[in-house]
Structure 1
Amino acid sequence: MIRLRIQVAHWPRRSLVLTDTPRPDCSNCEGFGGIERPYGDHDGEYAGSDWEPCDCWNETRRWFLLPLPRRPRWLRRRDNGRDPWGPDGYSNEPPF
């Protein structure tokens, strides 16, 4: 049985797609869609983790629904990390 959900895909163009979801009662992954396996280096310290996808779903199964329109240039986010209310983009007020 396929459990579908609607998602926004950003590649190659913004569009709506139908995707499969993991089986919520899966005994292997408990509904997460995969198993995270942490591993360590030669000293036994944490060095990262690997993601092993579960067989209860296929994360590459997608069906294209429709393309989403591009936003006009004036509506696109122009955040360059500065505070627009502070002088020169930086606030000199202490945080309270």
Structure 2
Amino acid sequence: MPRLRLRVLTWPRRLLVLTDTPRPDCPACGGEGGTEYDYGAPETGEYAGTDWDPCPCWDENRYWVLLPLPRLRREGGNPWNANGYSDEPPY
């Protein structure tokens, strides 16, 4: 039985999708959907990053598109000045 939830995807365009979630009682991942592990560089053995192994109880690429969402655009160009504050009035 799938455990469905709503999610917004942003690539290749904004979409509202219905997606599956990991099994909360899965003994392999504990409901997290996978396992993270750190790995080292082969030459030095120093930390090189973190990788993710997905659990078979969940397919993170399985989803159903419900609605394409519009792109967020502002009319009249960029309202933000160099300080990061908006020049638009509050109303």
Query: Is TM (by shorter chain) over 0.5?
Result: yes
Question: Which amino acid counterpart does residue 26 of structure 2 have in structure 1?
Answer: C
Structure 1 CA distance, aligned partners of 2:78 and 2:48? Answer: 36
Q: Given the superposition, is the C-alpha separation of residues 39 and 13 from structure 1 closer, same or farther in structure 2, using an over 3 Å criterion?
A: closer
Superposition RMSD on alpha carbons, in Å?
2.7
TM-score by length of 1: 0.70
Q: Given the superposition, is the C-alpha separation of residues 84 and 49 from structure 1 closer, same or farther in structure 2, using an over 3 Å criterion?
A: closer
Q: Any idea what SS the aligned residue of 2:75 has?
A: helix
Structure 2 CA distance, aligned partners of 1:57 and 1:77? Answer: 41
Structure 2 CA distance, aligned partners of 1:29 and 1:77? Answer: 45
Structure 1 CA distance, aligned partners of 2:74 and 2:34? Answer: 39
Shift of 1:2: 0.6
Q: Any idea what SS the aligned residue of 2:71 has?
A: coil
The number of residues matched between the two structures is: 85
Q: Any idea what SS the aligned residue of 1:73 has?
A: coil
Partner of 2:50: 49
Question: Which amino acid counterpart does residue 82 of structure 1 have in structure 2?
Answer: N
Higher helix share: 1
Cα offsets for 1:51-90 (capped at 9, x unmatched): 11000100010101011223342398755762439xxxxx
Unaligned runs of at least 5 residues, structure 1: 86-96
TM-score by length of 2: 0.73
Larger Rg: 1
